[in-house]
Amino acid sequence: MTTDVIHEALEALRDLGTPEEMKARAEAGLAPASRPKVNGHVHLPPNFSAFDSVVQAVGLAADQAIGVLGVSNYYDYTVYGDFVMQARARGIFPLFGLEIIALDAGLARQGVKMNDPGNPGKLYICGKAITRFGQMNTEARDLLGIIRYNDSARMRILVGRLAEIFAAGGVETGLTEAAVIDMVVARHGCARKTVYLQERHVCQAFQEALFARVPAGGRAAVLALILGAEVKAGPNDAVKIQNEIRSHLLKAGKPAYIEEKFVDLAQARRLILALGGIPCYPTLADGAKPVSPYEEPVETLIKNMKAANLHCAEFIPLRNAPEVLTRYVKAMRAAGIVVTAGTEHNTLDLAPLEPACVGGAPVPDDIKEIFWEGACVQAGHQFMALHGQCGFVDEHGDPNPEFAGVETRIDAFRRLGAAVIESYRRAAI
């Protein structure tokens, strides 16, 4: 997908109307007649994903009546052009995001865990409603270059170390970083330059190599030798074996652990803002056991987010009990934080696309309404940014100065975004 095609796809969204026209439609109450189903966070290939292709992901979203779908890939956004074209064809409103792994060195030294349950100071941060992924400025290119270089260097060493461990266990895989990238390219039909390996890609490659070289009857014994631990997964359970490789070999203190080099939170925020987006904190809550001290109680999390100048939060409700999700979302929204939700789909499990809580329990309806509001705010910000105007936050990540109060600002962007989504829907009919 070329930059020209991405630009053309974004122009179709920009050309829904002028900011003045869209504000007038919002004032007149233009909005979907009923609340669409929303999923604000999925990963698309070549990121590690449950989906084989963009066509499959968008097709499933359409089949499941998802009206707004957000993508949040790591480190390359070429696929977003395909995504917006497919979404337009199916009448699904596209939200563009990204995900970055960062480090708070101070909290790391203190041993404080944030939204990574295993590593103090390590955090995931998302950018919502980005619009400059096709034509980046110098700051964005430089920051993304640092992230890509560090990530690629780590993956190269990681693959080599795993190959040595498997060989010591009697399984010569012949795998290299290039070979794993080749597998991703073959699987998804993508360009090599768009592939940035993740741990899950690597684990899948080694699991497939194991299956190709060791018959099912002998896998448990061989894998136990390689992992140095009892294997709980069945001999044909590819996904669970991938997870066991990751847990027993790749985590901190394990034989194939490679220390990561991260950008800090300030750099991650600058990248998000340089791409025109809204910095967003992904919240685990009871998705971690015990709940992170950075996030518990919810009042502490709100205080921490405000200190970091973060005005948006996200949940993957499948991690959360309904009552915990409700407590967190309501408290955060009452504090003037916009809240959104998604499913990630960053494992091979092809779960339903409408977010649900632990065990498939439904998200409470009043919480769905808050998630819909969050999607509308993103749509409104995205639209304004495409017109070169200030959105929900400005270029520094501060609240849009046009609005005197946070509730006025959220309400204005909720109504603006609803008008944008409905205008898009009518144009697609």
d(CA 115, CA 106): 15
Q: How far is CA 91 from the centre of its chain?
A: 22
Question: How is residue 116 written in tokens?
Answer: 């990574």
Q: Write the pLDDT tens digit of every residue in 376-417.
A: 999 999 999 999 999 999 999 999 999 989 999 999 999 999
pLDDT of 2 reads 53
d(CA 78, CA 421): 23
d(CA 372, CA 35): 7
d(CA 217, CA 235): 7
Residue-level pLDDT, tens digit, the chain, 429 residues: 456 667 777 888 999 999 999 999 999 999 999 999 999 999 999 999 999 999 999 999 999 999 999 999 999 999 999 999 999 999 999 999 999 999 999 999 999 999 998 889 999 999 999 999 878 899 999 999 999 999 999 999 999 999 999 999 999 999 999 999 999 999 999 999 999 999 999 999 999 999 999 999 999 999 999 999 999 999 999 999 999 999 999 988 899 999 889 999 999 999 999 999 999 999 999 999 999 999 999 999 999 999 999 999 999 999 999 999 999 999 999 999 999 999 999 999 999 999 999 999 999 999 999 999 999 999 999 999 999 999 999 999 999 999 989 999 999 999 999 999 999 999 986
Three state DSSP letters for the chain: CCHHHHHHHHHHHHCCCCHHHHHHHHHCCCCCCCCCEEEEEECCCCCCCCCCCHHHHHHHHHHCCEEEEEEEECCCCCHHHHHHHHHHHHCCEEEEEEEEEEECHHHHHHCCCCCCCCCCCEEEEEEECCCCCCCCCHHHHHHHHHHHHHHHHHHHHHHHHHHHHHHHCCCCCCCCHHHHHHHHHHHHCCCHHHCCCCHHHHHHHHHHHHHHHCCHHHHHHHHHHHHCCCCCCCCCCHHHHHHHHHHHHHCCCCCCCCCCCCEEHHHHHHHHHHCCCEEEEEECHHHCCCCCCCCCCHHHHHHHHHHCCCCEEEECHHHCCHHHHHHHHHHHHHCCCEEEECCECCCCCCCCCCCECHHHCECCHHHHHHHHHHHHHHHHHHHHHHCCCCCCECCCCCECCCCCCHHHHHHHHHHHHHHHHHHHHHHHC
On whether the CB atoms of residues 44 and 71 are closer than 8 A, the answer is yes
Question: Of how many residues is the chain composed?
Answer: 429
Residue 361: exposure state from Cβ atoms within 10 A (0-12, 13-18, ≥19): middle
For 367, half-sphere exposure in the C-beta direction (CA atoms, 13 angstrom radius) is 25
d(CA 93, CA 86): 10
Q: Write the pLDDT tens digit of every residue in 21-62.
A: 999 999 999 999 999 999 999 999 999 999 999 999 999 999
On whether the CB atoms of residues 301 and 123 are closer than 8 A, the answer is no
